[in-house]
Amino acid sequence: MYKKFNLIISLLILTIIIFISYNAYDLGNKSREAKYDMLINDLNRDTIDFTSWISNKKEILDTAKDFVDNFSYDEITAGKTSNPYMNLNNDPDISQIYIGLATGEFITGGLWIPPEDYDPRNRVWYREAVESRNTIISDVYFDRATGDRMVTISSPLHIDGTFAGVISADVFMNDISNWLSNQITRNNIYTYMLDPDGTIIVHTLRPELVGENVYSSDRQDLPVIDNLKEFLEYFEEVRETSESVRMEYSVEGKKTLGIIRKIEEGNWYLAVAAVEDYDLCTFIKQNRNSLVFNILLLGIIILLLLLVIRIKLKLENKNKLLTLDNERDFLTGIYNRRYFDLYIDNICETAGGCSGISLVMMDIDFFKKYNDTYGHIRGDEVLRLVTNAVNHTIRKQDVFARYGGEEFVLVLEDVTEEIAQRIVEKVLKAVFDTGIEHSSSPFGRVTVSIGLAANTRRRIIDAHHFIQIADQALYKAKENGRNRVVVYSG
């Protein structure tokens, strides 16, 4: 009897240990996935914030370019330094605006006088702007005067219809690093940025690494990544694809999780990383030979079981919120409602009250009748066909999302109300021209109704209100007969 009791107790203890070990292992895996999802969301947010920040610098230069174009060549070139036409910048993160003339001369709003051998036409920023014919951001280089790392935003300048040179402004990498550091207040998470050649241009945790190249052979003295080859495989992968790449590597003996992706503005690679939390599996493994620990573990076993169950429930709820799958609509492949809500809230905060944005609400006409007539499988195909028609009509930078059911939403940035209306008229026609048969519709084919709300005069300061008035315009389009665009005029 005593031996049988001991056997039962032993089996019970073994079962409890196996159960705890399995749940600890499962918890560790789910914690890692939750951490990755959190990093993905952080990277998405940092990408949007950084793109908006650097785009704002380009807009400042474009504004200066438009201003200069209002004056004659002689007026602009009258002063080489302290030129009043160049003193247009109030942004502390970019330098004085300057012009490298096609004659080789240099004009600046500041006091810097270039050396006698200085010819702006030989500088990288000048040549790249002339070749691209657009406003561009140069590769990182060292400033001749200060020796600091920097990039130059530059654009070809035409005065009186004739090419006059290149107008430019500098952004120092220290300012980019400071901006990223100020943006990131999340615990144990840091950001770094590399150029296409593998040079670290920003590192918010280890600024002393800026300027180092991950391909350099002399990096053995730097205790940064324990297995550099492993990191290079991730970097090579992200250079070959436009998707985000998960990373898992060790930094000074600490397991680190990270996400890296390409940033179109500046042709750089932005990464977020965090040291993995110290989990129960690691703790048990490191103390498995300790009799005292095992006795204490068995003494609190019931409490641990309750805690594990509770933690698992919380973790599953967090995973539902943090999973990357929530970003895309599974049927159409475009963004979903959750992503749109996060995006419109973020951009309205960044743009100072949704200014300069047009919001479009779109609904497929008589969609319920279509499903009743042709069935839900054909209805799903209509959703995909309409999505494709819209995607082929709008611009690459426009955010197109499924709002729910047969309703869609479209965000247009940096357009006037007239251009926004022109875009949605093309969308309306593109869906109509798709020619999807719809016998229950008075039009004989699938059509859409569109409501447009254009906030080009800083009238709207709240994302929720913005959505409401776009929806009102959509309601008017339906009320007025469908298959039409109605612009909000309240």
Catalytically active residues are 406
Q: Can you say whether residue 356 is alpha, beta or left, with left for phi > 0 and alpha for psi between -120 and 50 degrees? A: left
From the list 405, 416, 481, 413, the residue with the least C-alpha distance to 450 is 481
* Cβ-contact 276, 256 below 8 angstroms: yes
**Chain centre distance of CA 190:** 16
Residue in the structure block whose two tokens are 């960044």: 350
**CA–CA separation, 237 and 233 (whole Å):** 6
**CB within 8 Å of 144: residues ≥ 6 apart:** 118
Residue in the structure block whose two tokens are 């999780």: 257
Q: What are phi and psi of 137, to 5 degrees?
A: -110, 125
To 10 degrees, the CA torsion angle through 440, 441, 447, 450? -120
Amino acid at 133: R
**CA–CA separation, 490 and 473 (whole Å):** 10
**CA–CA separation, 447 and 365 (whole Å):** 6
Alpha carbon separation from 226 to 71, 94, 168, 484 (Å, rounded): 58, 37, 41, 61
* Cβ-contact 451, 360 below 8 angstroms: yes
- Strand ranges for 379-467 from DSSP E: 399-404, 407-413, 448-455
* Cβ-contact 203, 210 below 8 angstroms: yes
CA atoms within 13 A on the CB side of 168: 27
